Structures are given as C-alpha cells and as structure tokens.
Amino acid sequence: MKADKEKVKRLLKTARGQIDGILKMIDDDRYCIDISTQVMATEAIIKKANREILKAHMLCCVREAFKEGKEEEKLDEILGLVEKLSK
C-alpha cells in the first residue's frame, strides 16, 4: 500500500471508536436520529480513508503501470472501482 499508512490507520481507528460509541448508543436506547447522525459521521471517515488509499494508488500504482505499458489492466481495475462506487 502506497498511501500514508499512519494517516489511514488513524482514520480507521477513529471510525472504530465511533462504531463502539454507536453500539453503546444502541444499548442505551438513544434517539434514532442521534444514532443515524453518528453512523453518517463514521461513514464519512471511512470514505476519507478510502479516498486516501485510492489517491495513492492512482498516483503511484497506476502511474507505474502506464510507464510499464500495463495501462489496460489498471484502467479495468479503476473502471471496476468506479462501478462499485456508483452503486
């Protein structure tokens, strides 16, 4: 992985902490909207971590593939990701 590992790990650990908090909110029968708000905040952090990973992939792995003449493989890979993201 070419992304800033510490940054990605920090984001994912934050998301994990938020998930633990959400589980506690559920156990405490907290208000649905408050729980939903925390779920959306956690999703945002996970998306940010994924953007960091994908950005590094594009700048490093995809760039390398183009230099080596293996662009078709990486383009197919990126198109597959775009398809998943758009669902």
CATH of the domain at 30: 1.20.58.1000
Per-residue pLDDT reduced to its tens digit, 63-82: 899 999 988 999 999 899 88
- Total tally of structural domains belonging to the chain: 1
pTM for the complete prediction? 0.84
Per-residue pLDDT reduced to its tens digit, 20-46: 999 999 999 999 999 999 999 999 999
Residues in the chain, overall count: 87
- Domain residues for the domain of 34 are 5-85
∠ Cα 15 54 69 (to 5°): 160
Centroid of chain to Cα 86: 14
